[in-house]
Amino acid sequence: MMDTIEIKDRLRTIKYPNTSVFKIENIFDKSITNVLSDQDRIMGVYYTTIFLWAGLLHQEPHLTINKASEYLDNYLDNGGTIPKLFEIMFKVLQENKVIASMVSEGQKEFDDEGELGN
């Protein structure tokens, strides 16, 4: 499963195949479940940039983290928000069954304001 967002006047598809999840886990040196449970940092710019980068790699294999940061700036400059973007990315992770057990157990879900909470 995937979802699209507009960045730099182009629709970009966010998707998390296993290779993307592996890269996220490798960067943070912990499982995706543990990364997502880091409540102090999950909605920060760094985490959001890494998740955006990993979610776009299937479409742009040579995308760098710095370029993904520029994409995030563009997304925010055009009215996007980090909570909304993370909601989209989280939904794609759920649909890909990457974090299905986490969600089904009720450990993580988005509240009405797009905040990741318990």
pLDDT digits (tens, 9 = 90+) for 74-98: 999 999 999 999 999 999 988 877 7
d(CA 36, CA 99): 9
For tokens 């794609």, the residue is 92
Domain boundaries, the chain: 3-117
> Sorting pLDDT into bands at 50, 70 and 90, what band is 2?
confident
- For residue 38, the model assigns a pLDDT of 84
Q: How far is CA 55 from the centre of its chain?
A: 6
Give the confidence band of 40 by pLDDT, cuts at 50, 70, 90: confident
- Measured in degrees and rounded to the nearest 5, phi and psi for residue 92 equal -65, -40
Closest CA relative to residue 60, chosen from 11, 18, 103, 94: 11
Q: Do residues 108 and 102 touch, judged by C-beta distance below 8 A?
A: yes
Q: What is the pLDDT of residue 79?
A: 94
- Does residue 103 surpass a pLDDT of 50? no
